[in-house]
Chains A and B, each alone.
Chain A
């Protein structure tokens, strides 16, 4: 139960491992599992506990609940028990797909390890999330997420990942049709820093995003509502049409080598 999973290059399978921080993580996984065991299934409600608040860290990329759709990441309904990278209509990284076909199934233990340090479990995943350090927080988040797995009628409707209004943007910006050919040229500036497909810490992955999230993120930098000097410099000189062109390009762009 409290094992971590790491891909075996040779056998292309998954197995438990223990190394120096493996032990540390295994202990925290044990803790999380123990905490989960104390949360009675019947007590679940979408508003109980801190789970929902903790999910705030996932919300900008994932939807969960009634009518949830794939956004930057896949929807998280019926997550427990499903194989990693297995939803047919979401474009996963090669790494995530490979993990699933190699036998990685989402359970309390594997999810706990994944959320603690995503790339320690799926090394070149496109999910750019640093990790939730505290075992109790992971346990609470997972208990909450678990409520969206299995047939039940009391789940609330999915919330949007991000809205233009959150950043004071005119929703009309989302309607601009981008020219992907221009986007492909402009993208040359981005790929010096953003590796196609991502898979590195430090600079997030931006391929395969829905155009809406992409446009909102760039306008947020452009207007100083998201603060990062390099991205503000880059976005600061992009016109509305150029942002739309980049969004169209990266939406379709392939993961790199």
Chain B
């Protein structure tokens, strides 16, 4: 029998995990005593939780799946803007891993992966243990690129929150918006491409404007943006005009939006050499693959991890699959929907390789909804196929300006149905 868990010291955490794994094996007596192929999934978010769930569910216990994530609860970035706008409560965007363990026998380990030995095929954990794998799935999301906004680093995240990984950062940003002085200024330093959720910053502007319109109607919103254009721009700008006239101002690269610096101590934003004092400063820095991808050596100089579209295997190592935001795959936006879609292709490929199950051609799709104001939802979506070079867009659609209120409301309702469905698809 292959070594199923760590070879290192049996810490309490590892001991608990090993106990959980034993009860898993008891739940699936057919495979007791056999060497089951092992899959380790690093990151229990949109990509990782889906991949772990589908591999375990569809292999019916034939594959030993371990999911590593430091958090006991995953707070989704998707719908975190709706929390900022007051349309969702915080608890409603939190998910736990209990059902993945109970329903699918997944061994959930709460720890950080800190090392990957590609020769020995082991993942090292911060707690000291190590996990052997036949296939490793990395879906660690993003990390921020150091130095991308001069004056800002992670040590400043309490003064100038990013709220671009959801959880306490999101709560902090909401509290800062609520506490803003009357007539104050909320500033967002928007990120350069590529970054997670292309419409995300602009949906956030809409939701912050919605909250301020009620509690602080004279407040102003300033977007400092290094990009000339952004996702669903026409739809957002039209919506801001209708719902929040005069509130939102955007400084693009033509006016120095790409030459920005922040001074957290004095709460100043310096655009093209000119300093402005603001009340809340939401800095969303430039991004790259979550650090563990670089540690594993699967990223290239872009900072993202190139993958083979048909299987989501790393181009650097066929035993490793990279999903979601961290992957460099082609045309799909970095979204929860995309990560979930890629995870299913990956799960099928992993099962095929480890158990000989049937492998069907990869297919991908994405739809991103955004809420602009009450019952005013819009969406953009596309279908994709795997080519040898990249995941390539085949067709798509986008909401239009001037749609009637009923259609916008139906679109918003769809997003609620989607959130329930994708949550169940990840954690159910």
Contact = CB atoms under 8 A, between A and B. Distances in A.
Nearest to B395: A233
Contact of A203 (B58, B99, B103, B414): B414
Interface stretch (B193-201, B268-276, B308-316, B378-386): B378-386
A189 B99 contact: no
A228 to B, nearest CB: 9
Contact of B418 (A181, A193, A233): A193
A200 B358 contact: no
A229 B413 CA distance: 15
Contact of B397 (A188, A230, A257): A230
A257 B103 contact: yes
Given A230-B367, A230-B397, A196 B424 contact: yes
B418 A192 contact: yes
Interface string B404-426: 00000010011111101110110
Contacts of B382: 233
B417 A229 contact: no
Contacts of A188: 54, 341, 344
Contact of A192 (B58, B360, B422): B422
Contacts of B344: 185, 188-189
B365 interface: yes
B428 interface: yes
B395 A256 contact: no
B424 A195 contact: yes
A195 B417 contact: yes
Contact of B363 (A184, A189, A194, A229): A189
B417 A200 contact: yes
A45 interface: no
A237 interface: yes
Contacts of A256: 424, 428
A202 B413 contact: yes
Given A200-B421, A203-B414, A229 B397 contact: yes
A192 B421 contact: yes
A199 B337 CA distance: 20
Contacts of A257: 99, 103, 424, 428
B340 interface: yes
A192 B417 contact: no
B394 interface: yes
B371 interface: no
B383 A234 contact: yes
B418 A202 contact: yes
Nearest to A199: B420
Contacts of A186: 360, 363
User: Most chain-A Cβ atoms within 10 A of its Cβ — which of B383, B415, B417?
Assistant: B417
Nearest to B399: A229
B interface, over-half SS:
helix
Nearest to B422: A192
A226 B189 CA distance: 42
A57 interface: no
B234 interface: no
Given A202-B418, A233-B365, A181 B99 contact: no
Interface in B343-362: 344, 348, 358, 360
A193 B417 contact: yes
A60 B298 CA distance: 52
Contacts of A191: 421, 424-425
A192 B420 contact: no
Given A230-B367, A230-B397, A233-B395, A192 B341 contact: yes
A202 B415 contact: yes
Contacts of A233: 365, 381-383, 395-397
Contacts of A184: 58
A47 to B, nearest CB: 32
Given A200-B417, A200-B421, A236-B395, A193 B367 contact: yes
A182 interface: yes
Interface in A162-211: 181-182, 184-186, 188-189, 191-196, 199-203
25 contacts: A185-B344, A186-B363, A188-B344, A189-B341, A189-B344, A189-B363, A191-B421, A192-B340, A192-B421, A192-B425, A193-B367, A193-B421, A195-B420, A195-B421, A200-B421, A201-B417, A202-B410, A202-B418, A232-B397, A233-B395, A234-B365, A236-B383, A237-B394, A256-B428, A257-B424
Given A195-B420, A202-B418, 18 more contacts: A182-B360, A185-B344, A185-B348, A185-B358, A185-B360, A189-B365, A192-B365, A193-B367, A202-B413, A203-B414, A203-B417, A230-B397, A233-B365, A233-B381, A233-B395, A234-B383, A237-B395, A256-B428
Interface of A: 181-182, 184-186, 188-189, 191-196, 199-203, 229-230, 232-234, 236-237, 256-257
